[in-house]
């Protein structure tokens, strides 16, 4: 089978590495890819958002399956364009990708489906939004309706912060049109976890659980990022809770999406808060998490390719996936300054030696080759050092042992990824 993966981050490197192991694979492309992906796939000079060029390429090469990594091309209609061209695609249509593209739509579906979640209200009027937070009081959460590169969420611990967030998002439009509509919702307290499911429009199959570290600093302090590390399995998602989350969150969402004429195909990523009253949904994403995908792929024993094809063809029912019982843990290395401004084109050495540490895969998130053939950092999150081992403690030790071999003075990482899970292990 000929496969085209869309995207160029650590998630797509993990997907490409896994797909490259499939005996069914004959050719693998990635658009645009990165320096690490180039070792397992042919990288294309096509942007992930350039839906027209992606579909033209897939048609011309007779691609059998397009695998969408990030949300933006899906929200822009990548899956619709593939379906129209008769190309199999793993990923939701634009109408279904609105589960991530519009928080207001997501909350409406969730309430129709009866999924446990924070109470909420949608606003297009700034004065009404402010009156509502004054009435409800803090802590309260203010979100832009549209995509804001993961930054359109303010967890306001005071009323003043909530009012300021409304002014920024809806008044000053700091996230542009994403702030034309706001969702204001209940503040939930607990430990967060991510649950993934493969969906084919009707059926859903559990695709693993993970926990990530969103804050940039040790001890989960400092600004939010796209994720500085993750581990799987998620100790808070016990087998009981896994079954409950499939039955109370994932399956009702898939049923409701089918009922409203927007059947959901692809991976559904539920961001959950484990509250004292049980798991509650924070958000849906229409893609694998990054870096969560890296740890899921490290633990997946089954061949990924036939499962993605089955999802694209509506044949998932009855699928069972085989997982390693080991723990996978990824530590993200980022450019100094991230998530603020950072330098680009700094050279990274020692990657080969790091990759030789037992149980390690060094995944590239934001890298490119220099004309001299060296690996340079070209993004904020740059590497994902992924380890697998029988215990969380050993996986963590392996990841940091490999990082010790990486020579990149302009990079940094957190030193405590997995601390909660290590503490639980005792
Ligand atoms: P989101 O993009 O909706 O996942 O929000 C980003 C982060 O904000 C989440 O991972 C949570 O840490 C936090 N968050 C979002 N919604 C809530 C909520 N209702 N209560 C508490 N924290 C929240
Ligand atoms: N790591 C969180 C995400 O991919 O949204």
Looking at residue 389, the DSSP 8-state letter turns out to be E
Residue 170 is predicted with a pLDDT of 93
Q: Residues 117-144: pLDDT tens digits? A: 999 999 999 999 999 999 999 999 999 9
Q: Is the CB of 181 under 6 A from ligand 2?
A: no
- Residue owning tokens 């009323």: 159
Whether the predicted model's global pTM rises above the 0.85 cut:
yes
Residue 103 is predicted with a pLDDT of 85
Residue 64, sorted as left (phi over 0), alpha (psi -120 to 50) or beta, turns out to be alpha
Q: Are 109 and 93 in contact (CB under 8 A)?
A: no
Q: Are 227 and 211 in contact (CB under 8 A)?
A: no
Q: Using CA atoms, how far apart are residues 424 and 191, in angstroms rounded to an integer?
A: 13
10 Å Cβ neighbour count for 111? 13
Q: Using CA atoms, how far apart are residues 271 and 196, in angstroms rounded to an integer?
A: 9
Which of the ligands is closest to the CA of residue 210?
2
State which H helix or E strand residue 402 sits in. Answer: helix 392-403
Q: Are 99 and 106 in contact (CB under 8 A)?
A: yes
Ligand 2 centroid to Cα of residue 288, in Å, is 8
Task: Assign 383 to helix, strand or coil.
Answer: strand
CA quadruple 95, 98, 104, 108: dihedral sign: positive
Q: Is the CB of 290 under 6 A from ligand 2?
A: yes
Q: Are 344 and 377 in contact (CB under 8 A)?
A: yes
- What are the structural domains, with CATH classification, of the chain? 2-94 (3.40.50.20), 119-186 (3.30.1490.20), 191-312 (3.30.470.20), 327-425 (3.90.600.10)
State which ligand 2 atom lies nearest to the alpha carbon of 285: 5
Q: Residues 185-214: pLDDT tens digits? A: 999 999 999 999 999 999 999 999 999 999
Ligand 2 centroid to Cα of residue 391, in Å, is 24
CA quadruple 3, 355, 230, 104: dihedral sign: negative
Q: Cα–chain-centroid distance for residue 354?
A: 25
Residue 147 is predicted with a pLDDT of 77
State which H helix or E strand residue 274 sits in. Answer: strand 265-275
Residue 101 is predicted with a pLDDT of 86
Ligand 2 centroid to Cα of residue 306, in Å, is 25
Q: Are 92 and 81 in contact (CB under 8 A)?
A: no
Which of the ligands is closest to the CA of residue 152?
1
Pocket test for ligand 2, best of 7, 106, 152, 285 (most atoms within 8 A of CB): 285
Q: Are 337 and 235 in contact (CB under 8 A)?
A: no
Residue 143 is predicted with a pLDDT of 92
Concatenated DSSP letters of 120-143: EEEES-HHHHHHHHHHH-SSEEEE
CA quadruple 138, 139, 145, 151: dihedral sign: positive
Ligand 2 centroid to Cα of residue 311, in Å, is 22
Pocket test for ligand 1, best of 106, 138, 155 (most atoms within 8 A of CB): 155
Q: Are 196 and 275 in contact (CB under 8 A)?
A: no
Q: Is the CB of 289 under 6 A from ligand 2?
A: yes
Residue 150 is predicted with a pLDDT of 67
Q: Which residues pair with 361 in a beta bridge?
A: 386
Q: Using CA atoms, how far apart are residues 170 and 177, in angstroms rounded to an integer?
A: 9
Q: What is the CA radius of gyration of the chain?
A: 21
Strands 65-68 and 2-7: parallel
Q: Using CA atoms, how far apart are residues 125 and 104, in angstroms rounded to an integer?
A: 14
Pocket test for ligand 2, best of 10, 143, 194 (most atoms within 8 A of CB): 194
Q: Using CA atoms, how far apart are residues 41 and 185, in angstroms rounded to an integer?
A: 43
pLDDT beneath 50: ranges in the chain:
none
């Amino acid at each position: 089978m000929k496969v085209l993966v869309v995207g160029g981050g650590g998630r797509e490197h993990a997907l490409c590495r896994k797909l490259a192991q499939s005996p069914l694979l004959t050719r693998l492309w990635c658009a645009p890819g990165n320096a690490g992906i180039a070792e397992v796939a042919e990288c294309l000079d096509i942007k992930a958002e350039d839906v027209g060029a992606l579909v033209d390429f897939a048609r011309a090469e007779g691609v059998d399956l397009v695998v969408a990594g990030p949300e933006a091309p899906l929200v822009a209609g990548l899956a619709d364009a593939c379906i129209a061209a008769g190309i199999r695609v793993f990923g939701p249509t634009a109408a279904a990708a609105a589960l991530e593209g519009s928080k207001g739509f997501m909350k409406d579906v969730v309430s129709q489906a009866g999924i446990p979640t924070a109470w909420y209200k949608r606003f297009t009027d700034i004065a009404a939004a402010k009156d509502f937070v004054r009435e409800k009081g803090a802590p309260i959460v203010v979100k832009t309706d549209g995509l804001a590169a993961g930054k359109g969420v303010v967890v306001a611990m005071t009323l003043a912060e909530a009012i300021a967030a409304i002014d920024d998002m809806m008044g000053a439009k700091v996230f542009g049109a994403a702030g034309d509509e706001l969702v204001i919702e209940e503040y939930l307290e607990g430990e967060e976890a991510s649950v993934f499911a493969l969906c084919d429009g009707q059926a859903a199959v559990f695709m693993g659980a993970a926990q990530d570290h969103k804050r940039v600093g040790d001890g989960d302090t400092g600004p939010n990022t796209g994720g500085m590390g993750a581990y799987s399995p998620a100790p808070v998602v016990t087998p009981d809770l896994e079954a409950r989350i499939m039955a109370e969150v994932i399956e009702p969402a898939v049923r409701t999406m089918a009922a409203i004429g927007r059947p959901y195909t692809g991976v559904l990523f539920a961001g959950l808060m484990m509250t004292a009253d049980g798991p509650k949904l924070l958000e849906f994403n229409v893609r694998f998490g990054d870096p969560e995908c890296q740890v899921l792929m490290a633990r997946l024993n089954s061949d990924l390719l036939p499962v993605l094809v089955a999802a694209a063809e509506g044949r998932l029912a009855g699928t069972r996936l085989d997982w390693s019982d080991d723990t996978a843990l990824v530590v993200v290395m980022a450019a100094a300054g991230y998530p603020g401004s950072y330098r680009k084109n700094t050279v990274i050495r020692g990657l080969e030696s790091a990759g030789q540490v037992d149980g390690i895969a060094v995944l590239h998130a934001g890298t490119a080759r220099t004309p001299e053939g060296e690996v340079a950092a070209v993004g904020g999150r740059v590497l994902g050092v992924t380890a697998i081992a029988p215990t969380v403690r050993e996986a963590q030790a392996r990841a940091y042992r490999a990082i010790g071999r990486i020579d990149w003075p302009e990079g940094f990482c957190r030193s405590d990824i997995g601390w909660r899970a290590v503490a639980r292990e005792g």
